Amino acid sequence: MRHLLQYFFLLFLIPVSSTIPTISFTTIPAVHSLCTKDQQLSLLHLKQSLTPYNHKPYPRLYSTKVMYWDSRTDCCFWDGVTCSSGRVVGLDFSGETINTGIGYRSPIPSAIGNLTSLRYLDLSNSNFTGSIPKTMGNLKQLVYLNLSSNMLNGPIDSIQWENLVNLIDLRLYNNLLEGSIPSSIFALPLLQFLLFSHNQFSGQLHEFSDASSSYLLSLDLSSNNLEGLISSSIFNFHALESLNLSSNNFSAFPFNGPQQLKNLNEIDLSYNSLLFFYNGTTSSYSSFPNIVRLNLTSNKLRTIPDFLRYQSGLVKLDLSQNQIQGMIPKWIWGLDLFSLNLSCNSFSGHVPNFTTSVVDLHSNQLQGPLPSLTAEFMDYSRNHFSSSIPTGIDDSLYFLSLSSNNLHGIIPTSICNPRFLQVLDLSNNSLSGMIPRCLSAKESLGVLNLRGNNLTGRVSNLEFPGWCSLSTLDLGENQIKGEFPKSLANCSGLQLLNLGNNLIKDAFPCLLMNLPLHVLNLRSNQFYGGIGCPNTNGTWPMLQIIDLAHNNLSGQILARFFMTWKSMMADSREKAKVLEFSQEQEGEFGVGYSFEDTVKVTSKGSERVLVKVLTAYTLIDFSCNKFSGSIPKEMGAFKSLYVLNLSGNAFTGKIPSSFGNMRPVADAGIATHLSHNKLSGQIPPQLVKLTFLEVLDLSNNQLVGRIPTGTQFSTFPKDSFIGNKGLWGPPLTVDNKAGLPPPPTVNGRPPNSGHHHEVNWDLISTEIGFTFGFGVSIGSLVLCKRLSKWYYRAMYNIILKIFPQLEERIGIHRRHVHINRRWRR
């Protein structure tokens, strides 16, 4: 130990507190003494390796720092260089790349190995590629090595790590390194930080030697491809504070090892294949150090690990996404946890009253009465609770989801007691009675979802005051009557409004046009009159889904009404702006991955960002109303429309030839339903150009002439054209070479008018709410997915659920979806 301390004093002249050496490079004295010749040469050699002059017409300089290294000056004064007694001890290129050429990347020059006095080397975040040079093993003085966030690849076992006995901090995270992790690394005696996450290391971890660093504080091997059992020798790292083995394929962890780990407080074993725990005696369990946070999300556990019983210091416990069955053991409620996540398992039985603050029990098979609503965050959705909602509700509650249970009775007014209630989801139960008026007046509320109950009363009784901050309001599928509540105009941040499938009777609420809606559903009510809204200035630039089907709306649809719906009209350039917007939104709830980096879809040889595909899905459903007049030709400007359903109205005139201009952003296919109208004239030949037209339903109109022939047209079934007396040609009839009009089709079967392309509202509210509103919290209602890491996939699934028929089509491309694993925060 003495020589060790000596060593540190010698190197850094920094105070050493306790027996654990501490480092801080900001305290390296900037001693600029004259550079020795050999050091200068080595640096120039390095510069040369980083400056490939053979690139014409311009030499590409790798680093701004290196660019100004001038052989006429003392190398100890060069940018990024730190000297001590004329020798280079520190080199910092981190984040220094400049790209004067496109995509130029350099390997780390092996000449780096000549700088044998180096103690500090930071080449992080500099686009270095290739494998780590073997000469790195010459840098015996290295204390700090940061090669993180580059594109380094290949195995690392040919480097003589055992030489680097002075290493304290080794960061290789965020690269593409592969192969096994050499055990010599784990044997480095002074190591405090070993951060290797987000690489492609594979294989098993072997026994850790006795000589393993007893200084190691943080071991992070997460997001690799490591597997097998984790040996209890991992506890040879006596000083360990945090252990992250998340996102590998480990199958067992020694929760009964002989440990003297006083400082271990966080273990992340999430996203592995842990199936069982080493069986020990109860006493060996109780000797396990008291940890504070334990994450076992997404493993293969079938029972709650018993050692937890003795973890009296545990604050956060996540056992979600396992296969645990049976009752929730009583002792778990006695642990004094702050946060407990047991979601997405198969727990059954009753839940007692408890005091834990954050409790997520969603997607289990829990039954019986609901416990008292005393926590701050409670997600009990997707269980079998059957009772009324308890009236005693704690003031501290801010998130409550009781969705998809068997709850009955009324919504108690005490639901408004919690001062900061933000999210209330009681959807998909059998609640009855009226919506408490206090709810619409609740200032803190952002998401209110009461969809799919048996609620009655008049919606016009609800007052939304000036401070309304709702972003999602979903009252769909109830039996709510009355006029549209005019005060909803006060909810100036409303993005999703679903009043569909109720009994609301009113004129079309033009005031909605001033709200920033993304999704509007007024389907199956008794709205009447025109939708022209001549007196509003509203524009709905973000509108993606509008469903007014099955009402009594009438009159003409004027272009003015929809010409401002930029989301649907946008060409790809404008679309990008829309995208930026949704990415900002996303940032708000902390899923900070950049889409561009992560998801690419290969389709027809070109790569597209999947998100662009996702935002492309838009829908207009005006079917089964009494709209009349001609279909405005401006509808052809819906460049990004996915479903257009105008069936079952009284539209007259011709099908606008401008429909031939519709273009989805991706090869999504367009579904256009125009059946059961009074459209006349011929099918415009321009429609033949729509190669991505997936569904075209023109049945039961007054169209005439020959059905155009063309790639896409030949795939439409007969049902698409029946009920038009004057229409002929395939697929209605075999082609008539003589050109005589064919016998008219009589008595056409009612086509599947739009049914196939209805929005699945059951899913849309919560999931769109998740996208636009309260992000992760809402997402957790429905998704047991790796939300952050697989965020895009969730988005993708949402869209598939909303438009189920897409599955098949996108399925084709799915094989080509590849995930860039270099997640950047």
Ligand X SMILES: *[C@@H]1O[C@H](CO)[C@@H](O)[C@H](O)[C@H]1NC(C)=O
CB of 565 to ligand X, least distance (A): 18
The 3-class SS string of 387-444 reads: CCCCCCECCCCCEEECCCCCCEECCCHHHHCCCCCCEEECCCCEEEEECCHHHHCCCC
* Nearest CA among 760, 453, 803 for reference residue 614: 803
273 scored as a contact of ligand X (CB under 6 A): yes
CB proximity list for 767: less than 8 A, separation 6 or greater: 778, 779, 782, 798, 801, 802
Q: Does 268 bind ligand X (CB under 6 A)?
A: yes
Query: CA-based diameter of the chain, in Å?
Result: 107
Between 270 and 733, CB nearer to ligand X: 270
192 binds ligand X (CB under 6 A): no
Q: Binding ligand X by CB under 6 A: which of 82, 106, 259, 295?
A: 295
Compute CA distances 336 → 313, 333, 375, whole Å: 8, 7, 13
114 binds ligand X (CB under 6 A): yes
Minimum distance between the CB of residue 558 and ligand X, rounded to whole angstroms?
17
Determine, following the binding rule CB under 6 A, whether residue 739 of this chain makes contact with ligand X.
Answer: no
Give least dist CB 152 to ligand X, A.
13
User: Nearer to ligand X by C-beta: 342 or 646?
Assistant: 342
User: Which residue among 60, 293, 302, 793 contacts ligand X (CB under 6 A)?
Assistant: 293
Residues 786-825 within binding reach of ligand X (CB under 6 A): 787
The least distance separating ligand X from the CB of residue 123, rounded to whole angstroms, comes to: 9
Please choose, out of 56-64, 184-192, 779-787, 792-800, the segment that lies near ligand X by the rule CB under 6 A: 779-787
* Contact flag: residue 699 with ligand X (CB under 6 A): no
CB–CB of 527/548 below 8 Å? yes
Q: Least distance (Å) from ligand X to the CB of residue 94?
A: 5
Interface positions, 350-409, toward ligand X (CB under 6 A): 352-353, 358, 360, 371-372, 377, 392, 404, 406
Min CB(138)–ligand X separation in Å: 8
* Residues 115-174 within binding reach of ligand X (CB under 6 A): 124-125, 127, 135, 146, 148-149, 171
Q: How far is the CB of 268 from ligand X (least distance, A)?
A: 4
Rounded to a whole number of angstroms, the minimum distance from the CB of residue 501 to ligand X is: 13
Candidate list 23, 76, 111, 335; residue touching ligand X; CB under 6 A: 111
Structure-block tokens of residue 420: 């900061």
Residues 367, 762, 793, 797: which binds ligand X (CB under 6 A)?
762
Say if residues 4 and 42 touch (Cβ distance below 8 Å).
no
Sort strands 423-425 and 447-449 into parallel, antiparallel or unpaired: parallel
Q: How far is the CB of 444 from ligand X (least distance, A)?
A: 19
Sign of the CA dihedral running 26, 197, 279, 326 = positive
| 791 SS3 class | helix
Nearest to 373 by CA among 396, 393, 398: 393
Mark the segment that binds ligand X (CB under 6 A) among 203-211, 534-542, 587-595, 660-668: 534-542
Sheet of 818-819: strand order equals 606-608, 599-603, 818-819
SS3 268: strand
Smallest separation, CB 340 to ligand X (Å):
9
Taking contact as CB under 6 A, which single stretch among the options 551-559, 573-581, 708-716, 780-788 is the one that binds ligand X? 780-788
Q: Are 150 and 127 in contact (CB under 8 A)?
A: yes
Return the residue matching tokens 């290294």: 69
Query: Could you tell me the CA-to-CA distances from 405 to 288, 324, 382, 693 in Å, in that order?
Result: 38, 20, 6, 40
- Interface with ligand X, residue 535, by CB under 6 A: yes
CA separation for the pair 128, 557 (Å, rounded): 58
Q: Helices H, strands E: what count in the chain?
A: 15, 51
Residue 135 or 745: the one with the smaller Cβ distance to ligand X is 135
* H-helix segments, 485-608: 559-562, 566-569, 572-588, 595-598
Between 29 and 392, CB nearer to ligand X: 392
What's the rounded Cα separation, in Å, for the pair 186 and 726?
Answer: 82
Among residues 124 and 259, whose Cβ is nearest to ligand X? 124
| CB 96, min distance to ligand X, A | 8
Nearer to ligand X, 581 or 823 (CB): 823
Residues 218-237 that bind ligand X (CB under 6 A): 222-223, 227
Please, where are the H alpha helices in 13-113? 37-49, 64-67
What's the closest the beta carbon of residue 134 comes to ligand X, in angstroms? 9
Q: How far apart are CA 168 and CA 8, in angstroms?
A: 11
Q: From residue 414 to residue 443, what is the string marking binding to ligand X with x (rule CB under 6 A)?
A: --------------x-x-x-----------
Task: Please report, for residues 6, 190, 218, 401, 512, the alpha-carbon distance to residue 214 in angstroms, rounded to integers and kept in the order given.
Answer: 18, 7, 11, 46, 65
The Cα–Cα gap between 294 and 264 comes to: 11
Size of the site for ligand X (CB under 6 A): 70
What are the E-state strand segments in 102-233? Answer: 120-122, 129-130, 144-146, 151-155, 169-171, 176-179, 193-195, 200-204, 218-220, 225-229
**Cα 187 to Cα 43: distance, rounded to the nearest angstrom:** 31
321 binds ligand X (CB under 6 A): yes
Q: Which residues, 24 to 43, sit near ligand X by CB under 6 A?
A: 41-42
97 binds ligand X (CB under 6 A): yes
Nearer residue to ligand X within complex by CB, 150 or 471:
150
Q: Which of 6, 48, 73, 279 binds ligand X (CB under 6 A)?
A: 279
449 binds ligand X (CB under 6 A): no
Nearer to ligand X, 192 or 222 (CB): 222
Q: According to CB under 6 A, which one of 51, 218, 232, 247 is a site residue for ligand X? A: 247
- From the list 243-251, 521-529, 675-683, 751-759, the region that binds ligand X by CB under 6 A is 243-251
Q: Which is nearer to ligand X, 120 or 651 (CB)?
A: 120
What single-letter DSSP state applies at residue 373? B
Q: Is residue 113 a contact residue for ligand X (CB under 6 A)?
A: yes
What length is written for the chain? 825
Of residues 198 and 706, the one with the C-beta less far from ligand X: 198
510 binds ligand X (CB under 6 A): no
With CB under 6 A as the contact rule, which of the stretches 51-59, 93-101, 410-418, 440-448 interacts with ligand X?
93-101
Q: Which residues contact 703 (CB under 8 A, 6 or more apart)?
A: 655, 679, 680, 681, 682, 683, 721, 724, 726, 727
Q: Does 217 bind ligand X (CB under 6 A)?
A: no
Classify residue 310 by its DSSP letter. Answer: G
> Could you say whether residue 495 binds ligand X (CB under 6 A)?
no
C-beta of 576: minimal distance to ligand X in Å? Answer: 18
Helices (H), 542-641: 559-562, 566-569, 572-588, 595-598, 610-615
Taking CB under 6 A as the rule, does residue 526 contact ligand X? no
Rounded to whole angstroms, the Cα distance separating 780 from 12 reads: 49
Q: Is 284 in the site for ligand X (CB under 6 A)?
A: no
- What span, in angstroms and rounded, lies between the C-alpha atoms of 216 and 557? 70
Where along the sequence are the contacts to ligand X (CB under 6 A)? Answer: 41-42, 45, 94-95, 97, 99, 103, 110-111, 113-114, 124-125, 127, 135, 146, 148-149, 171, 197-198, 222-223, 227, 244, 246-247, 249, 251, 266, 268, 270, 273, 276, 278-279, 293, 295, 297, 316, 318, 320-321, 341, 343-344, 352-353, 358, 360, 371-372, 377, 392, 404, 406, 428, 430, 432, 454, 535-537, 762, 776, 780, 783-784, 787
